[in-house]
Structure 1
Amino acid sequence: MSTLFGFGYNGFSQISDNSPSTSSSSTQSSSKQSFSRFISTPSEIFRNQLINDTFKIVITWSSIHLLKDQQVICASKSCSCCFSKSVEDFNKLILLDVDLNGIAGYVISCTEGLTVMNGYGCHEKVDSGIKDSSSTFKSVSLGDTHVIATQADGTFGEIIYADSHYIYRPLSLARVCQVTCGKEHVLILTESGDVYSFGIGSRGQLGHGIPNSEKEPRVVEALQGIRLSAVSCGGWHSAALSAIGDIYIWGWNESGQLGFPMKSKPTLRTQHKKLNTADSNYPTYCDKETQEKSSENIESKIKAEQSEHEILNHNRTVSNNKLESSLESEKINEDKASCSRVKDLSSHGDVGLQFSMIPSLLDFPDDITVSKVSCGSRHSAAVLENGDLYTWGWGKYGQLGHGDTNTVDQPTQVKMLQKKRVTDVVCGAWNTVIVCETPTLAHSQTILKSLEKT
């Protein structure tokens, strides 16, 4: 049997559902004291669910969901998504896969095909253009700019909005076994072990050696010849896991999410001003100090509104909407991160941002084999073959699980999980969820030996 643990952002009680209730003033006071906007230590979630079958963890910036037994379960009673509501038409669908990330809202794969659904439960069927009724879409993946669906036969395509409705556009490529979306880019792993990428590549997240965008899937040449078993898209960085347990990682390293040392604090000659460039396709960035100050200002506003949310709990729905609107502003602020334009950030000495445009091998202590890898918005995590969990990158909301909110630029073991065997990890934008199994006798002996050494 598996147990799920989560840590990171808890603004909507998605990790610990301890938000104030309307039962009594004493209950409100007690809940108010215990409520925390972030949880930096692994906490059990979905406690009442028996996790012993196939399931999928879906994380958004404000919620955590579990797809199990063709149903979607919300981690928090505060969740305002359509899955926590009673929608007759929605309940009739037999779910095969679902993803909630990105601007498309909710995309669902069911026995009737693909469906795009908004937060109010209204849904629209996607015109697949496929005559064969036996064709089944086994998985979906969403980003801010792409919606990808994969069929059971290994073919895949993109869902686009055209002529006032959603249509499925097939993409020509070899049989695929995994597709994952970042904010602005897509990674594809084929059955032959090759990796393709397309989308926006301004931070090197495509791995082609240049910060250019690609409209169609293009093979990542630096990884050819390496048998790969899994890929993961972060916000603006990417990772691939080889069949022998090595991690190759590339893209933006602003918060150490690549696991490599960050550059020192930037010394822009003219802060808050754009640098001239003839190429308007590159996004804007800001220096780290400016970004942190801006984020702190937004946080102050959020805390004020969250206090109001706790006190005025009798109108909980309205308060949640206000809080969600404010947090969405913080999310937009993170996405923009703007202040300077450069054509080649990796060679521009005045910009204290670092990225790798070509996949690089990430070393782990004692050459231990990695079994799982996952990327969040600006943090990353890996599960080792021995069941240990390592995290690194942005830790502002405790999403690294180290008991603090520090940012770490190298893989660091989550020591609070030394007595547990981690089998999988899923990183959301500001959260991390792990799957733990009951340790075997051999693993328990390994744990005891490691604890004796310390």
Structure 2
Amino acid sequence: MISFAGLAHAEVPPFAFIAQGPTVSLALDENGTAWAWGSNYDGECGIPASEGLEYVTRPVAIHGLDNVTSIDAGELFVIALKKDGTVLTWGWSIFGDLGYVPNNTTYNQSREHFSPLPVPGLSDITGISAGQHFCVVLKSDGTVWTWGDNRYGQLGDGKQVTIDDYYAGAHRAEPGMVVGLSNVTYVSAGPINAAAVKDDGTVWVWGANSRSLFGEAGENSTGLLAITTPVQVKGLENVKEVKLGHAHALALKNDGTVWAWGDNSYGQLGVAGKEFSNMPIMVHGLSNVTQISAGEGHSVALEGDGTVWTWGQNKYGQLGDGTTSNSYSPVKVHLPPIKAVSARGFNTMALDYNGTIWIWGNNNYGQLGNGLSSGSTSSPTTLQAATQGPIASGVPSQSRGDSTVLLAILLIILAVAVGIFIYMWKR
């Protein structure tokens, strides 16, 4: 078994970029090196799962990657963008998630690849985003390209999806252009849907017709399983960034206001008394917001003064306010000045101006990086605090292994000595 003891006590470097996946946490250091920790069921952390590392509970550098400018994760795979505009992926590819089919196998065979490989046919990429089992990328010419799972029309290629091909067809393991989109400046993938912002500030969405997520353009009353080509979200303009949760969406306008729509079961729209909204509504209590992010059922906003605000679901402490109570309005997270935030699933991350990562929420896969693969935390903790823990669940460190070997040798020597003593005594 391979030992990673040399990494177990290494200090993590200052970071420049963060991305929270559903079960894995990701970061880029100042040199463009990618780091990962959390689930490694299918090699998401760049380590073959055959080594017995189901969870990587401390940050490890992913080999074979440099000059990375952006990184993101789906359910069991990772996507990275390099400075030269090329895209690399690794992990699981049952629906063509990686942009190719490893070893020329079929779509319905689970296939893994543990080291980053370029996605064929892609160049001049400026933005990436990962859904549950699909990817969305933005090219420098303003076109949007997708690949992977298409059970809910999330590839935006116009192919009608029906119950009959819910499991079998509609998937694509190579990049294809989204129909009817141009002049796009920003893309974002939700678990089973996607969104784009055009240079005129309008928002366009496609994929699973989650609860009122498409606004008046695609209410559930239509009975459609999926929206297979982009539709405009009504009531939104001057938008620069959009994020999708499981069944809710956030939009950040140029004036620093945040707008939300979709499901409000946990308060993720930032308003009480509404079960859902099929039209965007402004989130009150926020101003001069510079970045937004969305988890499974919670929302995050970063203001220009470096303060972080969260609202919505809080079962695992993902709001970071020291409680596990849901909130229907933004609550302030006690942190030093922050320059970037990222949320996904039941976790939230923040990056301060010293390059330190703060993280909180669920830890079922080791995504908190604290040496454990269970529990949760409702208050922000620094990633540096994890430097004393083991690197992976169920894998002993080298020092422990050396001690075990030494003890065994001493026991053997003692047994031999006792045997010699008894033999001599009997004589």
The alignment's TM-score, normalised by the length of structure 1, stands at: 0.60
From 71, 76, 100, the equivalent of 2:86 is 71
- What's the Cα RMSD here? 3.1
Per-residue CA deviation, residues 360-413 of structure 1 (Å, 9 max, x unaligned), is 11113xxx2111111121111111122222111111111011111331111112
Q: 2:55 aligns with which of 10, 33, 38?
A: 38
Distance 1:93 1:141 in 2: 19
> Contact 1:109 / 1:140 at 8 angstroms: preserved in 2?
yes
Task: From the superposition, tell whether residues 149 and 181 of structure 1 become closer, same or farther in structure 2 (CA, over 3 Å).
Answer: same
Alignment of 1:31-430 (within 5 A): 31=51, 35-45=52-62, 47-51=63-67, 55-68=69-82, 69-76=84-91, 81-85=97-101, 91=121, 95-102=125-132, 105-110=134-139, 111=141, 113-118=143-148, 120-121=172-173, 125-128=177-180, 135-144=182-191, 146-159=193-206, 166-171=228-233, 172-223=235-286, 226-262=287-323, 354-364=325-335, 368-405=336-373, 406-416=375-385
Query: What amino acid is aligned across from residue 363 of structure 1 in structure 2?
Result: H
Distance 1:153 1:116, change over 3 A: same
Of 44, 48, 70, which residue of structure 2 is paired with 1:14? 44
1:93 Cα offset (Å): 6.5
**Secondary structure at the counterpart of residue 387 of structure 1:** coil
The offset of 1:91, in angstroms, is: 1.2
**What SS is found at the alignment partner of 2:285?**
helix
Q: Give unpaired runs (5+ residues) of structure 1.
A: 21-30, 264-353, 419-454
Match of 1:343 in 2: none
Give the conservation status (yes or no) of the 8 Å contact 1:40–1:400.
Answer: yes
Q: Deviations over 1:264-321 (max 9, x none)?
A: xxxxxxxxxxxxxxxxxxxxxxxxxxxxxxxxxxxxxxxxxxxxxxxxxxxxxxxxxx
Which has the higher Rg, Structure 1 or Structure 2? 2
Q: Contact 1:72–1:83 (CA<8 Å) still a contact in 2? A: no
Q: Judge conservation of contact 1:38–1:397 (CA < 8 Å) in 2.
A: yes
CA distance in 1, matches of 2:86, 2:101: 13
* Distance in structure 2 (CA, Å) of the matches to 1:164 and 1:244: 40
Alignment CA distance shift 1:5-1:73 (3 Å): same
Deviations 1:42-96 (A, max 9, x none): 1112x322226xx321211101110223332124498863424489996167544
Write 1 or 2 for the structure with the bigger share of helix: 1
How far did 1:149 drift? 0.9
Q: Once the 2 structures are TM-superposed, how far is the Cα of residue 193 of structure 1 from its aligned partner? A: 0.3
2:86–2:123 CA contact under 8 A, matched in 1: no
SS at match of 2:317: coil
Q: What are the superposed Cα offsets for residues 108-165 of structure 1, whole Å, 9 maximum, x if unpaired?
A: 434483344335426664432x7xxxx4223321224642111234332122587998
Structure 1 residues 389 and 398, CA, compared in 2 at 3 Å: closer, same or farther?
A: same
The one-letter amino acid paired with 1:48 is: G
**Does the 8 A contact of 2:318 with 2:378 survive in 1?**
yes
